[in-house]
Amino acid sequence: MKKTLSVFCVLLAALAVIGCAKKEAPAPAPAAAAVVAPYKVAFVYIGVPGDLGWTHEHDTGRLAVEAAFGDKVKTAYIENVPEGPDATRIIRQYAQDGYDMIFATSFGYMDPMVEVASEFPKVKFVHCSGYKTAENMSTYFGRIYQARYLSGIVAGKMTKTNIIGYPGAFPIPEVVRGINAFTLGARSVNPKVQVRVVWTNTWYDPVKEREAAVALLDAGADIITQHQDTVEPQKAAQERGKLSIGYDSDMRKFVGDTVLTSPVWNWGVYYVDTVRKGMDGTWKSDQYWEGLSADVVRLADFSPLVPQDVKDLVSVQKQKIVGGTWDVFTGPIKDNTGKLRVNDGAKMSDGELLGFDWLVEGVVGKVQ
């Protein structure tokens, strides 16, 4: 019994060590004159900054904060934090350690953050992609669908088989919104385009993502885009001599010029602004959901394979969206059973967009 117990303890210790590798960013050298303590900002990550996708972009935002404020801020992050009780523990630890502002960058951190926020009224909590707020807790996300729409235009112009493959993670509103925006963009320039969706039911599984992309290529797709967390679909397309469109980060840097462009996040804009408000005392709890006009989402630089006339087309649409004269989900929009869902000239409300559960005309696939 004693032996079993000791083995169990060793196991627990091993778990705790493996569970989360804590990394402190190097503290800036203390300036002799400045006695003001730095503003302390913490980030909680679901993956690792080297994932080339979601967490990579958040970490780029963190570095932008450091670059903007120098030694007036001190940032820290913890990677690979599982959603659930571990998240509560880590967020609480940061609050206890005297951090002034804490960013949590995954949907599943919402309830843990609400819980900790109620215990530390003086600390500012900021949560990505959720919907719950409090006096001292904000929520933020970006209208990446606007960039998806623009990337759809590129795909619609450049496909030859008129079939575009789209491995998707889960049939939830965030992913559905992206698929719909992309399809509307593609069909705005090429009404013959079909977007075929394959659900993997996983955010992160390199092997499955590749298999899904290969299945789509075999089904005749000549451009692959995706809503997943690795670059495998893009690599699979390239190996077959086909094109792709990335997501999250500028995947052309990691895969090559067959990645025509990527809708990407630019969290630095939001993080710098939010930290500044925290430092000068003007921070207030809000719900942030901005897009291309605020520069929090972007379309990455084009590959040299994209012809000038396509770039021009994208640029025209981008101006309309940025200028606020038009947005992606403006009617008439039919769903993929042929039913008219949005009337001519009507605009879908944010509430409808956040609960998107149907696919637009041109998508081959289902939302279960």
Partner 1 sequence: MGLITSLIAITLRAGTSLVYATIGETFTERAGILNLGLEGIMLMGAVTSFATAYYTGNLALAIAVAVAVGGLMSLIHAFLSVTMKANQVVSGLSLTLFGTGFASFLGQRLGPASNGRYLIGLTGPRFTPIDAGALGQVPILGAILGQDLFTYGTYLLIPLAWFYMYKTKNGLWLRAIGENPRTADAMGVNVDRAKYGYTILGGMLTALGGAHLALAYTPGWSENITGGRGWIVIALVIFSMWNPARAITGALIFGGINAVQFRLQASGTNIPAGFLNMLPYLTTIIVLVAITWWETLSKRVGSPASLGTAYVREDK
**243 backbone dihedrals φ, ψ, rounded to 5°:** -95, 170
Closest CA to 148 of 195, 115, 81, 214: 195
Q: 111 vs 335, which CB is nearer to partner 1?
A: 335
Q: Does residue 64 interact with partner 1 by CB under 8 A? A: no
Applying CB under 8 A, which of residues 127, 143, 177, 235 lies at the interface with partner 1? 235
Q: Does residue 240 interact with partner 1 by CB under 8 A? A: no
Q: 97 vs 301, which CB is nearer to partner 1?
A: 301
Q: Does residue 230 interact with partner 1 by CB under 8 A? A: yes
Q: 42 vs 163, which CB is nearer to partner 1?
A: 163
Q: Of 100-108, 133-141, 198-206, 351-359, which segment contacts partner 1 by CB under 8 A?
A: 198-206
Closest CA to 223 of 234, 210, 212: 234
Q: What is the DSSP string of 253-272?
A: HHH-TTB---EEE-HHHHHH
* 242-271 positions binding partner 1, by CB under 8 A: 254
Applying CB under 8 A, which of residues 198, 264, 310, 313 lies at the interface with partner 1? 198
Q: 116 vs 217, which CB is nearer to partner 1?
A: 217
- Is the peptide bond preceding residue 28 cis, with omega within 30 degrees of 0? no
Q: Smallest distance from the beta carbon of 79 to partner 1, in angstroms?
A: 9
Rounded Cα distance between 89 and 265, Å, is 28
Rounded Cα distance between 44 and 109, Å, is 9
Rounded Cα distance between 223 and 195, Å, is 10
Q: Of 140-148, 181-189, 231-239, 277-285, which segment contacts partner 1 by CB under 8 A?
A: 231-239
Q: Which two tokens stand for residue 341?
A: 């869902």
Q: 56 vs 177, which CB is nearer to partner 1?
A: 56
Q: Smallest distance from the beta carbon of 360 to partner 1, in angstroms?
A: 15
Residue 74 exposed, middle or buried by CB count within 10 Å (0-12, 13-18, 19+): buried
Q: Of 37-45, 62-70, 215-223, 269-277, which segment contacts partner 1 by CB under 8 A?
A: 215-223
User: Residue 341: CB partners within 8 Å, gap ≥ 6?
Assistant: 333, 334, 335, 358, 360
Q: Does residue 52 interact with partner 1 by CB under 8 A? A: yes
**DSSP, res 108:** G
Q: Does residue 18 interact with partner 1 by CB under 8 A? A: yes
- Total residues binding partner 1 (CB under 8 A): 49
Closest CA to 88 of 108, 63, 74, 73: 108
User: Residue 118: CB partners within 8 Å, gap ≥ 6?
Assistant: 134
Rounded Cα distance between 125 and 127, Å, is 7
Q: Of 46-54, 89-97, 282-290, 343-351, which segment contacts partner 1 by CB under 8 A?
A: 46-54
Q: Of 204-212, 279-287, 298-306, 317-325, which segment contacts partner 1 by CB under 8 A?
A: 204-212
Rounded Cα distance between 272 and 251, Å, is 24
* 66-105 positions binding partner 1, by CB under 8 A: 80
* Binding-site ranges for partner 1 (CB under 8 A): 4, 7-8, 10-11, 14-15, 17-18, 21, 47-52, 80, 165, 171, 196-202, 204-208, 210-212, 214-216, 218-219, 221, 230-232, 235, 254, 364-366, 368
